[in-house]
Amino acid sequence: MLETIEDKRIRLVKTAYVTYFHVDFAKERKFLLDFGFEIAKETDETIYFKGYGTEPYCYLSQKSRSGQTEFGGAAYVVADRKELERAGRLPGATSIQKLDAPGGGEIVSLRDPEGHQVHLVYGQIEEPSPVQPPIPLEKLVANYEDEKPRLGKFQRFAPGPAPVHRWGHYGVTYSEGQYQTMFDWYTQNLTLTPSDIVYKDKTPVTCFFHIDCKERYTDHHSFFFKRAPPRKKCSVAHAAFEVHDFDIQQLGHDYLTAQGYELCWGVGRHVLGSQVFDYWFDPSKFILEHYADGDLVNKDTPVDHVQASPEALAVWGPPVPEVF
């Protein structure tokens, strides 16, 4: 009889929130509201932004005290409190601390080999959002060339921001020669497993990871890392937030354009993950993404090995910008 090998990794359940520090706090507040968030709680130096999902918040904006814009890390929900206790015993981990935020709960914070913060939370109270999106969100019935079920009913939409549902994924950069060190840290300490590995020539340079939920399907990627450009310090690559569908996404795109914000890349359709994407620079020059219609994977989904090229980034959309 074969023995079951114990999985000693910290069991993740799903994504929770991202944290950013901003110098121009007021300007960022306006952008995030225009991006489609609602405010869950606000003080003079901290704003908890939420989507219309069950998470108590999914974006934590804090006023910078250092005079520098900074990424403050990303948080995952863990399976139970024992996972927090185990996480607290990892090298460099904080002790378990009370999470003084909407939804409550507890938190342990880690740092990866490049210094990026990874937060693990448990015990948050989740409930359906009392805030209803200002744009009606309906699952549309589409008419195709050979099947037209939408009879006498019209597609009509109201302009405005694309309401954010939840935070879906993020990525960070690493320095030259640190790929394997980063790979080992994330896959040996947390239940993150590769979905796609991207190579430049024969060398892996980017990896997309999903939360390992065994048979249960989960997002194609909740995390990725890629090599930092030469002479650039390691930082966040982007954070992505799910919206209802392509139409809502395009309405949000038009609204952000009308407000004069800086487009990064979009709208287009990714190859890896299949999401319809729309990337924007916020006032602090961080990149935030609206996405819709992403792939789901489980333990039986083969890991894809892809050669780096513009063609590997998008099925359709505008030309790939230099930042990518």
Delimit the domains of the chain by residue range.
12-128+166-316
DSSP state of 33: H
pLDDT tens track of the chain, all 324 residues?
Answer: 445 567 899 999 999 999 999 999 999 999 999 999 999 999 999 999 999 999 999 999 999 999 999 999 999 999 999 999 999 999 999 999 999 999 999 999 999 999 999 999 999 999 877 777 777 788 999 999 999 999 999 998 889 999 999 999 999 999 999 999 999 999 999 999 999 999 998 999 999 999 999 999 999 999 999 999 888 889 999 999 999 999 999 999 999 999 999 999 999 999 999 999 999 999 999 999 999 999 999 999 999 999 999 889 999 999 999 888
Query: What's the whole-model pTM score?
Result: 0.94
Q: Which two tokens stand for residue 58?
A: 């999914």
- Is the Cβ–Cβ distance between 223 and 174 less than 8 Å? no
Strand partners, 288: 239, 280
**Residues 270/313, Cβ–Cβ less than 8 Å:** yes
DSSP E strand stretches across the chain: 12-22, 38-42, 46-50, 59-63, 70-78, 97-98, 106-111, 117-122, 166-174, 192-200, 203-211, 218-219, 223-227, 236-242, 262-270, 276-281, 287-292, 296-297, 304-307, 314-316
Q: 226-257 burial by CB neighbour count: b if 16+ within 10 A, else e? A: bbbeeeeebebbbbbbbbbeebbbbbbbebbe
DSSP for residue 10: B
User: How many residues can be counted in the chain?
Assistant: 324
Query: Rounded to whole angstroms, how far apart are CA atoms 172 and 282?
Result: 17
d(CA 131, CA 31): 19
The yes or no reply on domain 12-128+166-316 and CATH 3.10.180.10 is: yes
**Cβ neighbourhood burial of 164 (10 Å; 0-12, 13-18, 19+):** buried
